[in-house]
Amino acid sequence: MLRSGPSRAPLLLLSTAYSPWFIVLCLAVGAGYAALLYSARAPWSRAVNYALAGLRFVVVSFLCFLLLSPFVKTTTTRTEAPTVVLAVDNSQSVSLFTPQLALSQLTAGLPRLATALQDKGFRVETRTLTQPATAPDSLRFTATRTDLNKLLADSREANTEHNLAGVVLVSDGLVNQGQEPQFSEFNFPIFSVALGDSIAKKDLRLTDLVYNRVAFSGNKFPLEAEIGYEGYAGGAATVEVREGGRVLESRRVALPTGRRRIKTTFQLTAPAPGKRRYEVRVLPQGGEFTTLNNARTAFIEIVKGKLRVLLAGAAPHPDLKALRAAILANNNFDLTLAVAGVGQPLPASTSFDVAVLHQLPARGGLGQELLARVRAAKVPVLYVLGAQSDYNAYNQLGAGLSVQPRGAQTDEITPLPNPGFARLPLDEESRRRLGQYPPVPVPFGEVRLSGGAEAALWQQVGRLPTQKPLLVFGSAAGASPRAATLLAENTWQWRLEEAIAHDNRPEAYDRLIGRTLQLLTQNANKKRLDVYPTQDAFGTQDDVTLGAETYNAVFERIYDQKITLTRTDSARRERTVSFANAADGSPLHLGPLPAGLYRYQARATLGGQAQQASGELLVQNQPLEAQESKADHRLLAQLSRRSGGRLYYPSQLDKLAQDIEKANFKPVLSSEEDLKDLINLKWLFFALVALLAAEWATRKYQGGV
């Protein structure tokens, strides 16, 4: 039987830095010293004389031995039992679509499986999508999102110091967040336990809703709805678009045979500027398994017109293509591209609201005409620095950042969001994607913020987070024109890597660039109190958070000011809270809220003057776990086959325990050595003093000196 846990058997070895023959010399010195001291006639008995000589022999020999730099080597052997992780997909789709018999077999059999493996000497831990450690008999299928790749990766990371034998993945195979797990490499066998139902339920559902988050007042804008259906082929479904309970448009959509999904597009007219909530709903029909997935909500910001962007570069560069694609991905932007010395000069009639300058100002004076046009226009600028940048010229622009590079040296870094900068909203998925970007070069040297500048992104070197700025907003409140700086070159690799990993949808990169330009072009904030949502929209399971900024009379940031906030929902119910804006930038946490459009008003007294701010926040209902009823057992089988495991069902948990035992996973033996100099052991000092004191006391007692 395997050992049930680690064990330690320390082995002590005394050694020196010199030849062992020197120990004989130490003994000889001790013996000679004792003989010389106690060979003469003494007033005490022969037995006492021998005892005193022995004490002196031990002390002198040991002191000589310490001159040889002796040390104690402790060798500890550790036996690590194999670990099996029970990784349970506790999402809502499992309880919603798994037959009751199979679910009962799982909840009863999983604790037995854990006990059986522990009895065989395995170390067993249980984790879920929402809890890194739990008991197998206390599972609750309440998770609102499923990321199996993260569940497996977390199981691996949590056991890097343990002997991970394998992972038992309990799931229905339905993934609605994160990377598909079949595209990742796992160095342990995965034993999948298939839940859910591989036979699709009779159901109508709204599987996707595609729309632009920004529309222009008075223009038409599309809402593309994708309807999924099982058991209704050959019929038709009624789809409605509603706003505030009012039906804007309704249509019958044919559901052709031989297909499972169909798309239909509504063309709506954008009303007055503001944030609007549109609900698209498939009307229920008889025999539907669930109606939880029949509706989705679109939150759209209606604005007056498009933002004109100038993208200018010192020379052709792959970054320009990536920036161009990111800007054009937002229908709120019109783009003009200009590269110094390439093609026709920028027409004099070209106007723009914001400029993106790639490696401008440049060494050798490249692109001076473009720089002059941007300065004359007095528009906000995003500077992207790189190998061709003229840093001396850049430092004179007053962009809020000073860069003093050390020659051509660079650091390879990845982006790290600054949690204290709430104006650049990044959801959890975007943060995860940023963390997976490949390293890109930034100038190595001294980088300093100035003039009220704030860093939105820090640099992370390898796994070491730093507080060196990567993306900086350099304008203090009320300054014009505004400026931001991105220190990284070759960010085209970020967009390409994200597109490859996420079905050609580099949303995190595109949002980063788009949101940066939006922040630069917002009206200069001359308000002394500003309260704003930290995200464009929240889900019903998200912690809704609001950022707050307060300024004194000369627009310098101040903190720890009492702010009173009143929140009003669509039913005109009000709730008031008071808080203070902390210096570390931590936001106000409102917790999860029901779906809807909320309005808020904030009040504060700053320097004896009353200040107020107002705004809106959006909470979307996202029933992701009800979108797909048919379990993906093929995914589970593929994961198991590639990793050396097998696919099981809830009724086969006993066989799973037997197969894991037969796999003959071995415990791992490891040894640790610890070296400690003998002279550093304090108790030896006191032992030597005690021996000398005993010798002296005996001599005094016997009448000697």
- What average pLDDT does the structure give for the chain? 87
pLDDT single digits (tens) 357-382: 999 999 988 888 999 999 888 899 99
- pLDDT of 704 reads 64
Q: Which residue spans of the chain are classified as CATH 3.40.50.880? A: 307-521
CATH code of the region 82-101+118-199+630-666: 3.40.50.410
The model's confidence at residue 518, banded by pLDDT at 50, 70 and 90, is confident
CATH 3.40.50.10800 fits 203-304, yes or no: no
Q: Which residue spans of the chain are classified as CATH 2.60.40.1930? A: 529-620
Q: How far is CA 316 from the centre of its chain?
A: 34
pLDDT at 187 over 50: yes
pTM over 0.75: no
pLDDT single digits (tens) 302-345: 877 778 999 999 999 999 999 999 999 987 788 999 998 887 88
With DSSP H G I counted as helix, E B as strand and the rest as coil, what are the percentages for the chain, rounded to 5? 25, 35, 35
Number of alpha carbons in the 13 Å side-chain half-sphere of residue 610: 3
Mean pLDDT across the stretch 646-654? 94
- pLDDT of 244 reads 80
Q: Which residue spans of the chain are classified as CATH 2.60.40.10? A: 203-304
Look at residues 115, 125, 624, 520 and name the one whose alpha carbon lies nearest to residue 309: 520
Contacts with 163 (C-beta within 8 Å, 6 or more apart), sequence order: 80, 81, 82, 83, 123, 667, 668
Environment class of residue 470 by beta-carbon count within 10 Å: exposed (0-12), middle (13-18) or buried (19+)?
buried
pLDDT single digits (tens) 64-102: 888 888 888 887 777 888 999 999 999 988 998 899 999
Number of alpha carbons in the 13 Å side-chain half-sphere of residue 614: 4
Mean pLDDT across the stretch 614-640? 85
CA distance 503 to 261: 19
pLDDT at 395 over 80: yes
- pLDDT of 669 reads 79
- pLDDT of 515 reads 87
Say which range, 336-350, 385-399, 564-578, has the weakest mean pLDDT.
Answer: 336-350
Q: 307-521, what's its fold?
A: Rossmann fold (3.40.50)
Q: What is the CA radius of gyration of the chain?
A: 36
E strand or H helix at 661, and its extent?
helix 653-662
Mean pLDDT across the stretch 14-23? 83
Q: Which residue spans of the chain are classified as CATH 3.40.50.410? A: 82-101+118-199+630-666
Query: Per DSSP, which regions of 304-347 are E strands?
Result: 307-313, 333-339
Say which range, 55-64, 357-366, 596-605, has the weakest mean pLDDT.
Answer: 55-64
pLDDT single digits (tens) 350-359: 889 899 999 9
Say which range, 85-89, 392-396, 685-689, has the weakest mean pLDDT.
Answer: 685-689
Look at residues 534, 535, 540 and name the one whose alpha carbon lies nearest to residue 594: 540
The model's confidence at residue 283, banded by pLDDT at 50, 70 and 90, is very high
Look at residues 273, 257, 144, 278 and name the one whose alpha carbon lies nearest to residue 210: 278
- pLDDT of 126 reads 94
Q: 529-620, what's its fold?
A: Immunoglobulin-like (2.60.40)
Contact 675, 73 (CB under 8 A): yes
Contact 603, 612 (CB under 8 A): yes
Say which range, 98-107, 167-176, 297-306, 600-609, has the weakest mean pLDDT.
Answer: 297-306
The model's confidence at residue 555, banded by pLDDT at 50, 70 and 90, is low
Look at residues 257, 247, 256, 304 and name the one whose alpha carbon lies nearest to residue 278: 247
Look at residues 17, 31, 30 and name the one whose alpha carbon lies nearest to residue 68: 17
Which tokens in the block code for residue 372?
A: 């002059």
